Chain A
Amino acid sequence: MSTNKSSSYNNRLGLKGWMYAGRYSFERYLYLGHRLSGLGLIAYMVLHIVETANRIRGEEAWAGLMALFASPPFRVIEYLLFVMAIFHALNGVRLILVELGFFLGKPQEPVYPYKSSIMKHRPLTYIIMLLAFVVMVLGSSSLFFE
């Protein structure tokens, strides 16, 4: 009886749940960023493979495509891809460390006031995000390469 009730209760938030379901932590937004950047990167990778296949059409076709990519809007898009790649990679390092149990502290008895393992690895989260920000800023110089 109770099984039927719980299975009929629709608690799926769907895509909305990615963004907000009340009191999401900083890490939860990093999770959202990781997903969105991952989707952006795989979409770009597929497009990149298709676009580089243009070389088969010869030098002229290739030069035309490269001229298009050298234009300011594409430079900005290229930089955004770089930002996504850096964020995804560094946040991925954090996720692997957490997955392997690093920076979470030792398991403790659940005695009130509870200590969250998230808070224990929060300094690592800040350090990694700061590093990502520095790399993103340094990488922005590519916008000005000639």
Chain B
Amino acid sequence: MRETRLWSLHILVIPIIAVLLGMHFALMHYAPVFYDVSVDEAREFSTMIERGKSMTQFVVYTLLLIAGLYHGLYGLRGILRELPLTPTLVKVVDIGILIFGLMIFALGMYVTWWTFNAPLGG
């Protein structure tokens, strides 16, 4: 049952990733098409800090971070668990991926929070 729930969550986060990653692509990689701004301008430090102060941006990136990391690391866990591992190694994989995911999530959240609170002008 636990595995079913984890798998279902893996599938349920897909629409969130699709929408939010689409927004991220539009904003950062296809800025000339959607915002009439060059890619270089969209990636400028001041533009990025200004953008990062928006609550919408903060929420979008927090959700994308959670959904993306969960989907990706759950997939990685599935691939690793297919290998001929001993029960102990399966536990190592599970706990290792959980700790790694939490560390990367903490770093991503710290950067998002730092941008949200950074003074304008750098």
On A, residues with C-beta under 8 Å from B are 12, 14, 35, 38-39, 41-42, 45-46, 49-50, 52-53, 55-56, 58-59, 62-63, 66, 69-70, 78, 82, 85, 89, 92, 96, 142, 145-146
Within 8 A of A (CB), among B55-87: 65, 68-69, 72-73, 75-76, 79, 83-84
A142 touches B79 (CB 8 A): no
Chain A residue at smallest Cβ distance from B48: A55
On B, residues with C-beta under 8 Å from A are 11, 14, 18, 21, 25, 29-30, 32, 38-40, 43-46, 48-49, 65, 68-69, 72-73, 75-76, 79, 83-84, 104, 107-108, 110-111, 114-115, 122
**A78 nearest CB across to chain B (Å):** 7
Nearest 3 Cβ contacts at the A-B interface: A42-B72, A59-B45, A49-B108
A52's contact among B30, B68, B111, by CB below 8 Å, is which?
A: B111
Interchain CA distance A50-B103 in the complex, whole Å: 11
**B112 nearest CB across to chain A (Å):** 9
**A43 nearest CB across to chain B (Å):** 9
B21 touches A85 (CB 8 A): yes
B72 touches A38 (CB 8 A): yes
Q: Is the interface of A mostly helix, strand, loop or mixed?
A: helix
19 contacts between A and B (CB under 8 A): A14-B83, A14-B84, A38-B79, A39-B76, A41-B72, A42-B75, A55-B49, A55-B111, A56-B114, A58-B122, A62-B45, A62-B48, A69-B43, A82-B25, A92-B14, A96-B11, A142-B29, A145-B39, A146-B38
